[in-house]
Amino acid sequence: IDLAVQEDDLFRRNRRLILFDMDSTLIQCEVIDELAKCAGVGEQVAEITEAAMRGELNFKESFHARIALLKGMPETVLQGIADTLPITEGAPRLISNLKRLGYKVGILSGGFTYFAERLQKELGIDYVFANELDFVDGKLTGKVKGEIVDGERKAMLLQQIATENGLSLKQVIAVGDGANDIPMLKLAGLGVAFHAKPKVKQQAKVAVSTLGLDGILYLLGIRDSEAMTQGNTTLPETPVPGFTASKL
């Protein structure tokens, strides 16, 4: 069972911006691990990913190490993964209902724009900030373009988007599962550790560990009878490990 205690003030009922991590939050996979499997370096990359998510490795250093192992991969492989991204169960329902209520929705990801932009089109997401992969002649170079989106940059972008929309930080929801999500979870008015690592749960304001993403509607005081839309997606909705259906 999930138990969340919140201050019952005006802001609890007046959030207006929700920002998601992507990998293992908005989708049920770590894209870089899927790419690594296709490149034959799956075990190497998975070990680095897990250590980074637990906060045992510097994110930027681990990121560069993993990307370098993908050098030479053709874009067709990425396209195949993008077309079958396993969207977290409840994500379309959550996002469609929040959009109906006037929310802005964004992705702040240490993953890749190539896949985040696919989700943007699929789910009607307003903002995408992630890492841009570098291609030459249709193949990965093993590098990325521009500044890496790490934990500190996620927090900075959250502040930037809130300011652009004239919102207080108390009106912002941040949702994530890994160590590099902690800065934005702590900054947001409502930081949700979603099926997260223990270190993340300890520092987030609330945790959702037994429901799908639409369980966040309950944190906002929205009952199933008030959540009018189910949302649509052509991508497969995938249950979260430990997911149990619940109705209020």
21 counts as catalytic: yes
- Per the listing, tokens 């195949």 go with 80
83 counts as catalytic: no
Helix axis angle for 59-68 and 31-39, nearest 10°, is: 30
Residues 2, 8, 9, 21: which is the catalytic one? Answer: 21
> Do residues 33 and 49 make contact, with C-beta atoms less than 8 angstroms apart?
yes
Report angle CA 57, 35, 195 to the nearest 5 degrees: 55
Quote the radius of gyration of the chain (alpha carbons, Å): 17
96-131 burial by CB neighbour count: b if 16+ within 10 A, else e?
bbbbeeebbbbbbbbbbbbbbbbbbebbebbbbbbb
Residues 8, 9, 23, 134: which is the catalytic one? Answer: 23
As annotated, the active-site residues are 21, 23
